Amino acid sequence: MTLQIQFEQALADSKNLADRPDNMTLLKMYALYKQGSKGDADGARPGFTDLVGRAKWDAWDALKGVTPEHAMQQYVDLVADLKSGI
């Protein structure tokens, strides 16, 4: 199974987890997904009144330089851990 297929499967699996992950884990998942699918963060950082958008952008920007393949693998591993209850 190719990494792209594993990534897509992990994305589908993430929507059917038994328990909702905590906010920090959700933020990490978001950042890994964006880095894996789009690469480094682009565009302007959201303003201080958009707290959620700013947190998401900051999490994604923190992964600058991580290859999309590495981010995809981290996302797949994280969802597998969440599925197994780790």
Which sign does the torsion angle of CA 50, 55, 38, 21 carry? Answer: negative
Enumerate the domain spans of the chain: 3-84
Inter-residue contact 56 to 30 (CB < 8 Å): yes
C-alpha dist (Å) from residue 26 to 4, 56, 76, 78: 20, 10, 14, 10
Q: What pLDDT does 85 receive?
A: 78
C-alpha dist (Å) from residue 1 to 6, 7, 49: 7, 10, 43
Give pLDDT tens digits for 67-79. Answer: 999 999 999 999 9
Confidence of residue 50 (pLDDT cuts 50, 70, 90): very high
Q: Between 3-14 and 68-84, two packed helices, what is the crossing angle to 10 degrees?
A: 40
Q: Is the pTM of this model over 0.95?
A: no
Q: Which CATH class is domain 3-84?
A: mainly alpha
Give pLDDT tens digits for 27-49. Answer: 999 999 999 999 999 989 999 99
